Amino acid sequence: MKESLNKEKIPQHIAIIMDGNGRWAQQKGAMRVFGHKNAITAVRESIEGAGEVGVKYLTLYAFSTENWSRPEDEVTALMELLVDTISGEVPNMMKNNIRLLSIGDIESLPRKAKEKLNEATGLTASNTGLTVVLALSYSGRWEIQHAIKSIVKKVVDNQLQIEDITQEAIAAHLNTKNIPDPELLIRTSGEIRISNFLLWQLAYTELYFTEVLWPDFRKEHLVEAILDYQKRERRFGKTGAQIKP
């Protein structure tokens, strides 16, 4: 299917809500953690597939601020899996010229997870290919709240005037300030919602929902989503006649 893609209309930035690990495990009569462990292949395939078709940024919603309220044993297992996965994938990232970034409340992560994440982002910082962004301990409302606090402090300190608080100024205080907004959001597992993810950035993003559970997601599913995206007319508030050449 990759040959069917219009190379001129590849989304620069794709974001993915990786959903369905628990249900996948339950269908197999296993613990939820089994689903998380088997999701690594889907992550690898998505990264490889995005790089192969020319996507520049791939953001993966790995752990939300709300996920901290899950059972303690599941959270612990997820954090251990995060550390192992990051450590194991660094050689592949270096080999494939992939840069790793993160967004979210990284300070809330366990010490070992933070260390491995900082090590990986440092080692890959000079890579110039696909940028993979991990959203960890992240939520859209948390990010906007954090941005508002930063802006208010600058106003109080006379570093910023109220009339200078534009949409561009707000965007510059978000975690994603140096990352373009996603053109395409993919959510797996059949759920049709955005779950507090990139609330500011998704204003004009095309949404794609698939029934595929995340551990079963492969390169061909990514291509299917991009093909669907390429059939859409992106108008940004204009009429169809206005955007036609």
Catalytic residues: 19, 67
DSSP-derived secondary structure for the chain:
-GGGS-GGG--SEEEEE---HHHHHHHTT--HHHHHHHTHHHHHHHHHHHHHHT-SEEEEEEEEGGGGGS-HHHHHHHHHHHHHHHHHHHHHHHHTT-EEEEES-GGGS-HHHHHHHHHHHHHTTT--SPEEEEEEEE-HHHHHHHHHHHHHHHHHTTSS-GGG--HHHHHTTSTTTTSPPPSEEEE-TT--S-TT-STTTTTTPEEEE-SS-GGG--HHHHHHHHHHHHTS---TTS-HHHH--
Residue 35: strand pairing partners: none
**CA angle, corner 126, sides to 201 and 54, nearest 5?**
55
Any idea which residue has 């990051």 for tokens? 86
